[in-house]
Amino acid sequence: MKKIIQILNVLLFSGIAFIASAKDVDVLEYSTLKQKAIDFENSLPPEINSQLNHSYGPILAEVFKQCVPVARPTSFEVISYVNKDGIAEKNWTMTPSQFGQCAKQVFYGQKLYSIDEKPFYAILSFNLWQESDN
């Protein structure tokens, strides 16, 4: 019985450590950040929103360059905290794959787009699913 309690304590401690290290992908936090990003982008004038969307081009090219070895058919979404200078300082993804984690790392520190020199949350979603003709 004592051995079982020791094992349970180790598992409990390991679980708490895992939860603490995975805090940045908490589902509630992620959905809140996602909604902030969507609301912000929806509030932008069309020309600014278009410029923001175009700023993802070079970053996506780098994502595909670096992450193609782990790319699989998937949909992908990344939320970025963009500082006042337009730099993606922090990124979150709920895409459960090596590709998602690779893309998240590529986004870190990349120049997106500065909007009124104020920080904001941005969201990018894309789909790598291959469509079937059947």
Q: What average pLDDT values come out for the chain (134 residues) when binned by 10 residues?
A: 46 34 56 92 93 90 88 82 94 84 90 92 80 49
How many other CB atoms are there within 10 angstroms of residue 3's CB atom? 7
Residue 91 to residue 105: CA distance in whole angstroms: 8
Q: How far apart are CA 108 and CA 38, in angstroms?
A: 20
Q: What is the pLDDT of residue 17?
A: 31
CA 23 – CA 35 distance, rounded (Å):
18
Residue 119 has what pLDDT? 94
Could you give the CA distance from residue 32 to residue 92 in angstroms, rounded to a whole number?
12
Domain ranges of the chain: 25-127
What pLDDT score was predicted for residue 20?
A: 31
The reported pLDDT for the residue numbered 98 is 86
Query: CA–CA separation, 102 vs 63, rounded Å?
Result: 8
What pLDDT score does 106 carry? 92
